[in-house]
Structure 1
């Protein structure tokens, strides 16, 4: 009788199947009971109205992991965020649609080629490689300070992007940077068109105007880069920059196919300046709001060489407070404040069941405000990153560059650029916001955390 009542009406209870059905129903029920809590009032509509506020409310009211919509979860605190990012097999990085490989008859890259390309790029981007080229990075940051018009309110993100694009493209391509730099603004514009919020989510195969524009810019850049690659290979002078590292044959895989080099570099090129320019906007805003901290940065920067090209790793290492300030701004306002992962199988996260196919949003913005990791997490305290800060808790979680297998390849380069730009600016200027009760900017969260329209004023430091 029990078996009949538990099974489907009218179906005869074949031997063993009814009990199995009970077990499956119980497992399914327990899985649903073990879901992360649903945030009251949470929905995609509420999320899109104010994503930062809803992210903070979710972390405060629901804890480590919470549910935004069915099968959409937010990892809100440090532990679950780090776990998701490290468990790359269970939580797959969602492929970026920004600069997909161009369609060619040669087909797509093999996993081995992708691994070889990544390893080759990292030879040019690892901390030791960046440190050896500090003298090439510093002059660009000094030019930014020299060219900032004083005594007037300036919309600062465009010149920041221009400066950091010059530095990034030169770091990637050295003497060929003048040939390739003109394509950087158009690649950036293509990215911005693709990440703008839209009422409609079009399938990837539909050639929307933004995608057609992206493809045209990618093709133009790739054609110019192809000429550089072939000239270097035919001459035998591969170069010591990041492109040169990619052109060097691997003892295991041999030389990278031309397409493997060309496909990966449009995205890398934009990444060298797009995210750092957003970060730099937040940093300069903090210099304006915390003049005492800016003065301490200026005191450190006074010891930098008069000739920026003479800057070395030792000089960079001496900017300890400046690096702490940069790190603290990135903690409070991480430019990449939300990362998307997809669960490849049913698994556990922070004691909850996450079904296969679910989306997990990793939120460094709220993880960095985890009081278990950071003392007084909402306060701007660069000293927390110094060993002698005397604060009762040592910060542990720092996810502004991600972590795990898919951590940011350019983290060392970005930190070097941002530290030197901060030091050079504070050495020359007092930075201030325009007067008035309202901020001169608006915060956007689509495609990154950005101070759109930020205006600042520089006055010479006496």
Structure 2
């Protein structure tokens, strides 16, 4: 059998000790696709990663909802209802819909910068998560967001508890304490959301937010059943701020470590309206360098750095034959370091994303939001949130790391690539020096 090469001295033990280092070693020593253990393969470069994510018939995504339907509900939504729910969500999450609501996103980003106390070290991920949760929940639920935000925060806590590394991998049917906690928080969120749905339907004022889009009848399927609406919203609610929070940590760290890049962002952000609510998609489009910086950080440190797929049948990948039932780990972290796609791939260089002959454009060159049929639904929303958060923070502050020989944070890889413990200090920026010169 034509199998991918096995990484010398590799295996799950080495992988568990340092997954990022082992992933880089696999890329350097084995190339496009390599074998971690029998039946477990890593797609390490842009081409194979893009192929796996795009060929859903050969490499399907295993159904593993973080918030499965609650027992005692009126039934699990059918496959058709799930497709209808996805299409309805996307009406509110596609790029055009996000562009039309930039003025609702920008105030939360500006408030994050305004709230940052100067002259003291701040735990970044906690502050960013609170800000991004406020933005994301408001984008989904508009005027009903304040009442739902506390329940969304507890949903996130339930996810944190559930995915925490454990010595034992319990079968899904075992009611572990973490799973019972998740169920309680999911039920509380659903109970808080149900009267909102019923009130909107009874009044006929469905709203222009994502929930409103889901309540609008489809010309093909008619209205979604209430349970199909409620079933899909816990997961998308947490998703609006979970991965963006991980990304924000890396972005803010890079603003601190690359002050010239931060100055350029600040100069660009100086053109934003004084009233953040007056921000439009045209203003967002003008933040070209800021968007390039965000994309460059996401390239180097994709929040979802490893994605899992299984082969549905014997299939080929990068010239190798994989048996049915094999596990394929898609690694955007190493794909983004593919020198065939990115010159000087380990170097932080936002300019690579600006228009020009060197701008990366090939399939698989940027996989931070996935690609193919299971690509991130909220990619446009996440980019808008992160771009505006970056711009407002750089316009108002200069960031720095606490003094000391060692970084004051850890890098975790279990659920996503994150910087827990990251602390940064802000000093007020001189507005005159932030302008182009």
TM class by shorter chain equals over 0.9
Q: Contact 2:85–2:229 (CA<8 Å) still a contact in 1?
A: yes
Instruction: Say whether residues 1:182 and 2:150 are aligned partners.
Output: yes
The one of 361, 376, 384 equivalent to 2:344 is 376
The answer for the alignment partner of 1:21 in structure 2 is: none
How far apart are the structure 2 equivalents of 1:140 and 1:291? 24
Following superposition, the deviation at residue 178 of structure 1 comes to 1.1
Q: Contact 1:384–1:395 (CA<8 Å) still a contact in 2?
A: no
How far apart are the structure 2 equivalents of 1:108 and 1:188? 23
How far apart are the structure 1 equivalents of 2:240 and 2:65? 18
Instruction: Say whether residues 1:218 and 2:186 are aligned partners.
Output: yes
How far apart are the structure 1 equivalents of 2:114 and 2:104? 17
The one of 131, 135, 141 equivalent to 2:99 is 131
User: What SS is found at the alignment partner of 1:91?
Assistant: coil
* Structure 1 segment 217-296 matched on structure 2, within 5 A: 217-296=185-264
The one of 321, 329, 336 equivalent to 1:361 is 329
The answer for the alignment partner of 1:113 in structure 2 is: 81
Residue-by-residue CA offset, 1:185-230 (whole Å, 9 max, x unaligned): 1111111111111111000000001000000000000011111111
User: What SS is found at the alignment partner of 1:93?
Assistant: coil
Q: Contact 1:246–1:256 (CA<8 Å) still a contact in 2?
A: yes
- Runs of 4+ aligned residues of structure 1 deviating over 4 Å after TM superposition are none
Q: Which moved more, 1:91-100 or 1:149-158?
A: 91-100
The answer for the alignment partner of 1:335 in structure 2 is: 303
The one of 406, 409, 425 equivalent to 1:457 is 425
- Quote the RMSD (CA, aligned, Å): 1.0
Q: What TM-score does the superposition give when structure 1 sets the normalisation length?
A: 0.91
The answer for the alignment partner of 2:360 in structure 1 is: 394
**Unaligned 5+ runs, structure 2:** 431-437
Instruction: Say whether residues 1:165 and 2:162 are aligned partners.
Output: no
User: What SS is found at the alignment partner of 1:444?
Assistant: coil
How far apart are the structure 1 equivalents of 2:225 and 2:52? 33
How far apart are the structure 2 equivalents of 1:89 and 1:302? 48
Q: Contact 1:333–1:365 (CA<8 Å) still a contact in 2?
A: yes
Q: What TM-score does the superposition give when structure 2 sets the normalisation length?
A: 0.97
Aligned length: 428
Q: Contact 1:80–1:350 (CA<8 Å) still a contact in 2?
A: yes
User: What SS is found at the alignment partner of 1:39?
Assistant: coil
The answer for the alignment partner of 2:162 in structure 1 is: 194
How far apart are the structure 2 equivalents of 1:256 and 1:49? 46
User: What SS is found at the alignment partner of 2:92?
Assistant: helix
Q: Contact 2:206–2:212 (CA<8 Å) still a contact in 1?
A: yes
Q: Which structure is larger by alpha-carbon Rg, 1 or 2?
A: 1
Q: Contact 2:75–2:227 (CA<8 Å) still a contact in 1?
A: no
Q: Contact 2:73–2:227 (CA<8 Å) still a contact in 1?
A: no
* Structure 1 segment 39-188 matched on structure 2, within 5 A: 39-104=7-72, 106-188=74-156
Following superposition, the deviation at residue 144 of structure 1 comes to 0.4
Following superposition, the deviation at residue 112 of structure 1 comes to 1.1
